[in-house]
Amino acid sequence: MSRKTIYYFLAIALILAPLFVTVSCQKLKVNRLKANYHFTRANHLFTDGRYRQAIKEYEKTLSFNPEIVEAYRFLGECYKNLYRPSDESEKNKEIAQKALEALNKAYEANPSDKDVIYSLGDMYDKLRDFNKAEEMYLKIIEMEPTNMSNYYVVAEFYKRYAGSSKEKEEGETKAEEGKTPFQKAEEMYLRRIETDPESPQGYAYIAQFYEGISPRPEFDKANYFHERRIQLDPENPAAWLSKGVNRWSKAYRLANLPKEERLALAKDSLQALEKANKLDPQYPEPYSWLSVLYKSVLAKLEPQRAQRYISLADMNAQKFQELRKRQLERERLEKELKGQQIK
């Protein structure tokens, strides 16, 4: 081929090149517009809980533009919402696999996205994959060590495994340093307190944790943290209510304790519940628990005063019903007012 011919073809190529680039850019622009269209549709379907239809739209989105990372995340969320932990069918296992595939793609594209990490950890948790779920949840704390809610999320994760039939196995062969899920949950609640020791809420969380232990709650450990909470927030009637319910629970549930000890617990409960009432006379719940305390414990421990205790129980129950009715009516009116303001 002569040099003249070569120059000729090069000239033609240079003339046509902008045309091909224009066509390619135009196609890319159209694809992105289509992707955005299907992504918007998918998001509306997801919000409405129509996950199967949303899956189709997210898949169309990615077919037109695989760089929309959020589409992978919400595609995974759709499959996760369709997954049923108790279903061992092949179809359900396939749904789980697709959820993991989509969420892992979102994670690979943006490994610092807390929402994606949490969602992936949640999916592994649903599959009872303790190690992988734990890895994801701990990443959240590493990323945001001063965010108090993260400690609660991770503690709740460990708590779901604490006391299960697999706890010993998971504690010895999976959990680091040989700690059981229960011990790790306890440690996480304590870390939350250490990170922000002036926050009363941290003490409330760990107290609830000890009270939720089955079959026998750690009543005294829980009470210790109720009292720490009260020291930080002495004017909070809810804190006094929690202490009162704790002392009643121990007196009522541990019926084999000596009578004197149970009576002391009941009196401690009475004092705490009355303090809650004094701080907020319109707070319904203390009246309800006072009624329970008088009937279920005090009337039985001191039968000579049973009639008086039963009378006090009825009086407090009636007071609770009155205040609760007012509270519900107030909440109803507030919702109506809020609805009118939105309109």
Q: At what angle do helices 114-126 and 148-161 cross, to 10 degrees?
A: 10
Looking at the domain assignment, is residue 291 inside a domain? Answer: yes
Q: pLDDT tens digit string along 217-273?
A: 999 999 999 999 999 999 999 999 999 999 999 999 999 999 999 999 999 999 999
pLDDT of 16 over the 90 cut? no
Average pLDDT, the chain: 87
For the chain, how many helices (H) and strands (E)? Answer: 16, 0
How sure is the predictor about 276, in pLDDT bands with cuts at 50, 70 and 90? very high
Contact 123, 77 (CB under 8 A): no
Rounded CA-CA distance 301/293 in Å is 11
Of the residues 117, 143, 169, the one at which a domain ends: 143
End-to-end CA distance of the chain: 78
Q: 105: domain range?
A: 26-143
Q: Distances in Å between the alpha carbon of 75 and those of 100, 110, 284, 324?
A: 10, 15, 45, 43
Of the residues 119, 143, 167, the one at which a domain ends: 143
Looking at the domain assignment, is residue 292 inside a domain? Answer: yes
Q: Which pLDDT belongs to residue 210? A: 95
Looking at the domain assignment, is residue 300 inside a domain? Answer: yes
Helices assigned H by DSSP within 235-283: 237-253, 259-279
Cβ neighbours of residue 221 under 8 Å, at least 6 residues apart?
210
Looking at the domain assignment, is residue 134 inside a domain? Answer: yes
Looking at the domain assignment, is residue 218 inside a domain? Answer: no
Contact 210, 222 (CB under 8 A): yes
Looking at the domain assignment, is residue 271 inside a domain? Answer: yes
Contact 298, 305 (CB under 8 A): yes
Mean pLDDT of 179-205: 94
Contact 207, 193 (CB under 8 A): no
Q: Is this prediction's pTM over 0.85?
A: no
Q: Which pLDDT belongs to residue 304? A: 96
Q: pLDDT tens digit string along 67-82?
A: 888 999 999 999 999 9
Q: Based on the structure, what is the number of domains in the chain?
A: 2
Residue 254: CA count within 13 A, CB half-sphere: 21
| CA-based max dimension of the chain | 123
Looking at the domain assignment, is residue 130 inside a domain? Answer: yes
CATH of the domain at 44: 1.25.40.10
pLDDT of 216 over the 50 cut? yes
Q: pLDDT tens digit string along 131-155?
A: 999 999 999 999 999 888 899 999 9
Query: In percent, how much of the chain has pLDDT > 90?
Result: 74
Q: pLDDT tens digit string along 81-99?
A: 999 998 999 999 999 999 9
Per the structure block, which two tokens stand in for 243?
């202490």
pLDDT of 115 over the 60 cut? yes
Of the residues 143, 174, 200, the one at which a domain ends: 143
Q: pLDDT tens digit string along 35-74?
A: 888 999 999 999 999 999 999 999 999 999 998 889 999 9
How sure is the predictor about 10, in pLDDT bands with cuts at 50, 70 and 90? very low
